């Protein structure tokens, strides 16, 4: 299975914010859209990613004052990306090895979607369930 299949099932919506967006505004976006991360873009280029984990770590390190900071001050600057042609297995391995929970999907240098570890696990479970059903049907014949 390819990442394009995951995106076709879940949709292409990606929450993005500017580096200058205040952390409080970021939190409102995450809550409104019920997501765990936003891609930070500047002039249509990915410059970072910011997740709930980043917020919690910075809150612990800096206290409540970090809520007024711009996202650029707390975002993760090294963004692991994938393409729609990547396999689900390869993305799963990368996410596990790099301890990454969200990967933007990029096509021709442009943001085309995002996959989360939850999307990967959900898809793996659906594949396993399908395989089980096929084996059960084969055995029952």
Number of structural domains (the chain) is: 1
> What's the whole-model pTM score?
0.87
**Selection from 114, 92, 96, 94 nearest residue 41 by Cα:** 114
For residue 55, pLDDT beyond 90 = yes
Give CA–CA dist 65/80, Å, rounded: 29
- Which structural domain range is residue 16 located in? 3-140
* pLDDT value of residue 28: 96
pLDDT per position as a tens digit, 13-40: 999 999 999 999 999 999 999 999 999 9
pLDDT per position as a tens digit, 65-122: 999 999 999 999 999 999 999 999 999 999 999 999 999 999 999 999 999 999 999 9
Give CA–CA dist 33/64, Å, rounded: 23
* pLDDT value of residue 140: 83
- Which tokens is 10 given? 């879940």
For residue 53, pLDDT beyond 90 = yes
DSSP state of 43: T
Residue 6: CB partners within 8 Å, gap ≥ 6? 88, 115, 119, 120, 123
CATH code of the domain covering residue 38: 3.10.580.10
């Amino acid at each position: 299975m390819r990442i394009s299949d995951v995106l076709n099932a879940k949709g292409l919506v990606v929450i993005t914010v500017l580096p200058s967006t205040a952390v409080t505004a970021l939190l409102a976006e995450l809550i409104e859209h019920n997501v765990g991360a936003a891609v930070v873009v500047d002039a249509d280029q990915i410059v970072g990613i910011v997740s709930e984990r980043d917020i919690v770590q910075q809150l612990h390190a800096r206290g409540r004052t970090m809520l007024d900071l711009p996202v650029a001050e707390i975002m993760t600057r090294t963004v692991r990306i994938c393409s729609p042609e990547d396999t689900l297995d390869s993305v799963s391995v990368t996410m596990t090895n790099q301890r990454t929970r969200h990967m933007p999907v990029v096509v021709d240098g442009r943001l085309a979607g995002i996959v989360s570890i939850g999307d990967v696990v959900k898809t793996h479970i659906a594949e396993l369930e399908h395989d089980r059903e096929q084996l059960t049907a084969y055995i029952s014949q």
